[in-house]
Amino acid sequence: MTYWQRLKDVTTARGALCVGIDPHAALLKAWDLPVTVAGMEKCARGLVEALGQQVAVFKPQSAFFESYGSAGVAVLERVLADIREAGALSILDVKRGDIGSTMDAYADAYLADGAPLAADAITVSPYLGFGSLNPAFERAHRYGRGVYVLARTSNPEGGQVQLALGREGSVVQEIIDAATEANHLGRQHAIGLVVGGTHSSLGCDVSSFNGSILVPGIGVQGGRIEDLPDLFGDAVRRVLPVVGRGVIQAGPGADAMRAKVQGLLAG
Amino acid sequence: MTYWQRLKDVTTARGALCVGIDPHAALLKAWDLPVTVAGMEKCARGLVEALGQQVAVFKPQSAFFESYGSAGVAVLERVLADIREAGALSILDVKRGDIGSTMDAYADAYLADGAPLAADAITVSPYLGFGSLNPAFERAHRYGRGVYVLARTSNPEGGQVQLALGREGSVVQEIIDAATEANHLGRQHAIGLVVGGTHSSLGCDVSSFNGSILVPGIGVQGGRIEDLPDLFGDAVRRVLPVVGRGVIQAGPGADAMRAKVQGLLAG
């Protein structure tokens, strides 16, 4: 089954919401956990234990695991397994981007069946050109997984590169158009976009896009779910909003986090 | 001591050469090793064992370790320790780039004293804007480490983003100018650039740049060390050429790899 179909099934059943797993030091302290790999594991897996049956998609942020070295990456493997066992999907936020055999290796690391760190989808970064990401698209198509390409990010500094003018329009528009075309050719809609929800206007046109749109920046960064229809127009039906700290900060109590998610799904 | 000073010392003593550690599957087979984490460890650590006293800088490519999951990342920790013990420097090629607390976590993961994956320098990717990389620069300054920002990459698809026109010139030129300014303010020359050696002309001006320039693409990708003076002009004295497969393919025999390095340093 394709990623697009799996995503549709789980968001139809559970609602279109992605919860970020960002176990940073300040959060561990707020949860009264030690800032150690054991404390981080308790936080990350506790979140999935509390919400795994309720939430459609989780987005673990790789950086917070990598900062503990290989022991942290081993926790990430267990978190990805927990998400799978709970019947939810994982979008592993790694923002990888490289060329040739190196991009092949990243694709194998995160999108190949049997890989220890295989996720249902990953994020990738197109600084080396959209075409450099082909190995990730190829693996996504082969294994029924997804790839979200950074297009317009939620941070204020992003415009420096993303709004620069390429041959056929802005960089972000070239990325969007190339992703649309690659989805058309691949016939799986496996390629998604990352478009931040913090901007007052997008500065790009996603109206013809034919994949999933991951929208971070909701909550602490200032974006609001209720503003997404105005921001995305008809494409809002493709939007998967990501709520990070808004949910995790309601913890560590499972009931409080579930109530927070319930409120977001209802609103 | 600053990264810049340490780099100067070791390249003065051993010559300005960086050897890539890219233990991909085809190479393991060529070395008659199994394509397993144990085979990969044998290849990567064997390379450092053979060349650790001869070569100034090693560039392990994180993707080839990540593809084995946490077990592969544990090998990377040992490879980084081997490089340190041999008196060489490590530039860990991770091409990370993110925002806010996530970029903080990457900076802590790879540039903070005591981190399991701390390297002497890392590569970073500026798709989210040069300013988003500040946490990496801050850690580099604090801990005497280095950060190489992707500017102009060696692959043909890179121009799509890198040669797009921003407010004050091309994206690549804005990155170069911002890095120059940040080095000036930081007073450590801790910020380097990645500029591929495969282009017939750079398409950007590095003549005022004040840090180290890492130049991949030499050898298999078509770049030649003897062409670097023409390509970089006076800035060639800042260039650290990276040779990847050219050296490792001469293995697994240590003598053959040492002879290959000797030839590159003499040429």
Contact A206, A193 (CB under 8 A): yes
Nearest to B161 among A100, A158, A171 (CB): A171
Q: Which residues contact B49 (CB under 8 A, 6 or more apart)?
A: B82, B254
- Per-residue pLDDT of B14-70, as tens digits, reads 999 999 999 999 999 999 999 999 999 999 999 999 999 999 999 999 999 999 999
Would the pLDDT of A223 be above 90?
no
Which residues of A are less than 8 Å from B153 in CB distance?
A: 99, 127-128
Number of domains in chain A: 1
B36 touching chain A per CB within 8 A: no
pLDDT at A219: 82
3-state class percentages of chain B: helix first, strand second, coil last, to nearest 5:
50, 20, 30
Distance, CA of B151 to CA of B148 (rounded, Å):
9
- B 87-146 residues inside an 8 A Cβ radius of A: 93, 95-106, 108-110, 115-117, 125-132
Tell me if A60 sits within 8 A of A93, measured CB to CB.
Answer: yes
Predicted pLDDT at B189: 97
Q: Is the ipTM of this complex over 0.90?
A: yes
Torsion of CA A122, A125, A130, A131, to 10 degrees: -70
Q: Which residues of A are catalytic?
A: 95
Which residues of B are marked as active site?
Answer: 95
Number of C-beta neighbours around residue A237 at 10 A: 10
- Is the model's pTM score more than 0.95? yes
Looking at residue A267, its pLDDT comes to 72
- Asked if B215 and B241 touch (Cβ cutoff 8 Å), the reply is yes
pLDDT reading at A206 higher than 80: yes
Q: Round to whole Å and give the CA distance between A82 and A242.
A: 19
Distances (CA, A) of B247 to A39, B89, B151: 43, 17, 25
DSSP assignment of A130-196 equals GGGGHHHHHHHHHHT-EEEEEEE-SSGGGHHHHTSEETTEEHHHHHHHHHHHHHHHHTS--EEEEE-
What are phi and psi for residue B52, nearest 5 degrees?
A: -60, -30
Instruction: Give the separation between CA A122 and CA A109, rounded to whole angstroms.
Output: 11
Q: How many CB pairs under 8 A join A and B?
A: 209
Structural domain harbouring A204: 3-266
CA gap A227, A225 in Å, rounded: 5
Enumerate residue ranges in chain B where pLDDT < 70: none
- Per the CB < 8 A criterion, the answer to whether A61 and A67 are in contact is no
Q: Tell me the per-residue pLDDT of A225-265, one tens digit each, with 9 for 90 and over.
A: 999 999 999 999 999 999 988 899 999 999 999 999 999 99
Shortest Cα distance, chain B CAs vs residue A155, angstroms: 7
Give the type of residue at A35.
V
Residues B91 and A138: their CA atoms lie apart, in Å, by 29
Q: For residues A48 and B28, what is the distance between their CA atoms, to the nearest angstrom?
A: 38
What's the mean per-residue pLDDT of chain A?
Answer: 96
Q: Is A183:A164 a contact under the CB 8 Å cutoff?
A: no
pLDDT, position A201:
86
Percent of chain A past pLDDT 70, that is, above it, reads 100
B198–A contact, CB cutoff 8 A:
no
Cβ(B65)–Cβ(B76) below 8 Å = yes
Residue A216, pLDDT score: 94
pLDDT, tens only, A36-94: 999 999 999 999 999 999 999 999 999 999 999 999 999 999 999 999 999 999 999 99
Q: Is the peptide bond before B23 cis (omega within 30 degrees of 0)?
A: no
CATH number for the domain that contains residue B181: 3.20.20.70
* Interface mutation target, options A95, A113, A193, A248, chain B, most CBs of B under 10 Å: A95
* Residues of B whose CB is below 8 A from A95: 96-98, 125
* Phi, then psi, of A177 in degrees rounded to 5: -65, -40
Strand order in the sheet with B169-170: A169-170, A165-166, B165-166, B169-170
